[in-house]
Structure 1
């Protein structure tokens, strides 16, 4: 699996969020409440959707699948004016990301993420940075489909 290192500019996400854990995933509920509202969001940058996670500072050092984090369902916008009712804004800070292409269903993604954290990071020359992690869901993303494709953005900083 290849990755590419990119630097992103600050981005603004408009969407909905929920606190959850990996064991008690509320992702389907979050997306079900968000998708019907997408058309009411103005100033969208693209048709892509963003699934984003904000983890506590030591989440990965003290990993526990029952530990809570914040999950977002959203879209990138060029302006945060005229927010639809019930929507919130998150600023994604500028910084370095390692971007991976993931092919497959979300249910089968465990080994992919395990490879990133157990194999890729130790050999990479980078450490995990404390910024949001996100997946860019474009035209080739098909929910729960083995042929689905998405880009996974992991925040990094030089060692």
Structure 2
């Protein structure tokens, strides 16, 4: 479900990242590594978790399930916060995002992304921008529970 567009300022995140592809998805491995250590991160803003993707330029021009990208498990922190050992800082530039609500299990995510990239974006008048994509997992996120909810933020221009 399309919630609207939002322009956000630059944000600072601390987390862990792994290089992966859709064919060689390592998301579970990433989150298993991050979750036990997230409590050592100082100056966290809010309670949300962020699943972020940093794609190479023109990644979405033609779908290739084997093409690699960087995926992050992260939290938002105050600007200037130092990353604990074993973690990295990711600063996202300011910009406009299309925001969508995904309801249902995480395993149904491909349906939501199919709608975003196959239907909504081509008809929207917007173009995909080359900035990080992210999902915001707040209080209503319950992983593979049918009642789970998360916001999906797609960078647009």
Q: TM-score, normalised by structure 2?
A: 0.96
Pair 1:72-2:81 in alignment = no
Higher alpha-carbon deviation: 42-51 or 109-118? 109-118
Corresponding residue pairs, total = 157
Distance 2:112 2:82 in 1: 38
- Counterpart in 2 of 1:13? 13
Q: Who is 2:98 aligned against?
A: 98
Instruction: Spell out, residue by residue over 1:123-143, the C-alpha distance to the aligned partner (whole angstroms, 9 max, x if none).
Output: 211000000000000000011
Q: 2:5, 2:97 within 8 Å by CA — same for their partners in 1? A: yes
Contact 2:48 2:136 in 1 (8 A): yes
CA RMSD of aligned residues (A): 1.0
Question: 3-state DSSP class of the match of 2:127?
Answer: strand
Give, in whole Å, the separation in 2 of the partners of 1:133 and 1:107: 18
**Distance in 2 separating the partners of 1:28 and 1:63:** 22
For the 8 Å contact 1:103–1:146, the answer to whether it is kept is: yes
Q: 1:4 to 1:82 in 2, by over 3 A?
A: same
**SS of equivalent to 1:109:** helix
Equivalent position of 2:47 in the other structure: 47
Aligned-pair distance for 1:82? 3.6
Give TM-score scaled by structure 1 length.
0.95
Would the aligned equivalents of 1:9 and 1:93 in 2 still touch at CA under 8 Å?
yes
Counterpart Cα distance in 2 of 1:29 and 1:140: 22
1:141 aligns with 2:141: yes
Show structure 2 runs of 5+ residues with no match: none
Counterpart-to-counterpart distance in 2, 1:29 and 1:118: 28
Deviates more, 1:79-88 or 1:29-38: 79-88
Q: Does 1:35 align with 2:39?
A: no
Q: Is the 8 A contact 2:11 2:79 kept in 1?
A: no
Does 2:4 align with 1:4? yes
